[in-house]
């Protein structure tokens, strides 16, 4: 199937120019930054629990590969540059190369992948949306755990304790919520277009 199965952004804003794209990318990065501030720490791990994964998955699928990736690249770069956009309003190069930097890199890759899948219509039904969201979550974990393992110089068992096990239940809820949001949004768009 061609990428004619437009992303949700294209359905809502069919004729957008460069300014529209820039505004959407900035809004996507701001949404991720806002969700990053909803965070709390467990005490035994440097990785906080946040709403970032929910935001990353939603932005990636709603915007498609190019705009989703651009949003997360912008988020990553403004954080490195000093804007307090990471969890707990952290920022800077030290945070990026620290123990949680792999998750941030994973956000970019996940947004590209889920956006690409959404462009092929995988975001239209709940069952396939769940697959897209699960795939994106696995990508985020893969980058985050690899980076965490290397950065802290801990065993894989410890890396999994710090960066995976405490987050699985919450991330399953977040991916289901994101998967529920997209088909519902598509139905709303189709209803509006049908009027």
- Read off the pLDDT of residues 129-185 as tens digits, 9 standing for 90 and up: 889 999 999 999 999 999 999 999 999 999 999 999 999 999 999 888 888 877 766
Tokens 């239209």 map to which residue?
Answer: 124
The pLDDT assigned to 1 comes to 41
Report yes or no on 81 lying in a domain.
yes
SS3 91: coil
Q: In this structure, what are the phi and psi dihedrals at residue 50, rounded to the nearest 5 degrees?
A: -135, 180
Beta-bridge partner residues of 50: 39
- Looking at residue 38, what is its pLDDT? 95
Q: Is residue 2 part of a domain?
A: no
Tokens of 161: 């304790």
Output the pLDDT for position 28. Answer: 93
Q: What span, in angstroms and rounded, lies between the C-alpha atoms of 47 and 127?
A: 30
Cα separation of 126 and 74, whole Å? 29
Give the pLDDT of residue 4. 41
Instruction: Tabulate helix, strand, coil % of the chain (nearest 5).
Output: 75, 0, 25
- Tens place of pLDDT per residue across the chain (195 aa): 444 445 555 555 555 688 888 998 999 999 999 999 999 999 999 999 999 999 999 999 988 899 999 999 999 999 999 999 999 999 999 999 999 999 999 999 999 999 999 999 888 888 888 899 999 999 999 999 999 999 999 999 999 999 999 999 999 998 888 888 777 666 655 665 555
Whether 17 is in a domain gets the answer yes
Is residue 195 domain-resident? Answer: no
* Cα angle: 78, vertex 82, 85; to 5 degrees: 60
Q: What is the pTM assigned to this prediction?
A: 0.86
Name the one residue in this structure whose structure tokens are 């110089």: 153
pLDDT of residue 108: 98
Asked if residue 194 is part of any domain, the answer here is no
Cα separation of 37 and 51, whole Å? 8
Count of structural domains within the chain: 1
> What burial class does residue 146 get, using C-beta atoms within 10 Å of its C-beta: 0-12 exposed, 13-18 middle, 19+ buried?
middle
In a domain, 122, yes or no: yes
Token pair for 108: 């970019």
Q: Is residue 169 part of a domain?
A: yes
Question: So what's the pLDDT on residue 3?
Answer: 44
Instruction: Supply the range of the domain harboring residue 64.
Output: 8-186
CATH code for the domain in which residue 15 is found = 1.10.1760.20
Give how far Cα 161 sits from Cα of 25, 145, 154, Å: 34, 10, 10
């Amino acid at each position: 199937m061609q990428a004619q199965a437009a992303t949700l952004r294209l359905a809502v804003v069919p004729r957008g120019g460069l300014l529209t794209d820039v505004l959407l990318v900035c809004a996507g990065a701001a949404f991720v930054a806002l969700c990053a501030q909803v965070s709390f720490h467990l005490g035994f791990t440097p990785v906080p629990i946040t709403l970032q994964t929910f935001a990353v998955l939603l932005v990636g699928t709603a915007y498609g590969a190019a705009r989703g990736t651009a949003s997360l690249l912008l988020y990553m770069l403004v954080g490195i540059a000093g804007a307090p956009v990471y969890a707990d309003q952290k920022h800077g190069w030290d945070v990026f190369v620290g123990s949680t930097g792999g998750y941030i890199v994973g956000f970019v890759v996940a947004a590209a992948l889920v956006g690409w899948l959404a462009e092929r219509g995988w975001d239209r039904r709940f069952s396939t949306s769940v697959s897209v969201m699960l795939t994106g979550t696995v990508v985020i974990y893969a980058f985050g755990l690899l980076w965490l393992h290397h950065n802290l110089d801990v065993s894989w068992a410890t890396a999994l304790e710090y960066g995976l096990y405490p987050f699985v239940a919450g991330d399953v809820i977040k991916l289901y919520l994101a998967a529920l949001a997209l088909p519902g949004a598509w139905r709303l768009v189709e209803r509006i277009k049908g009027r």
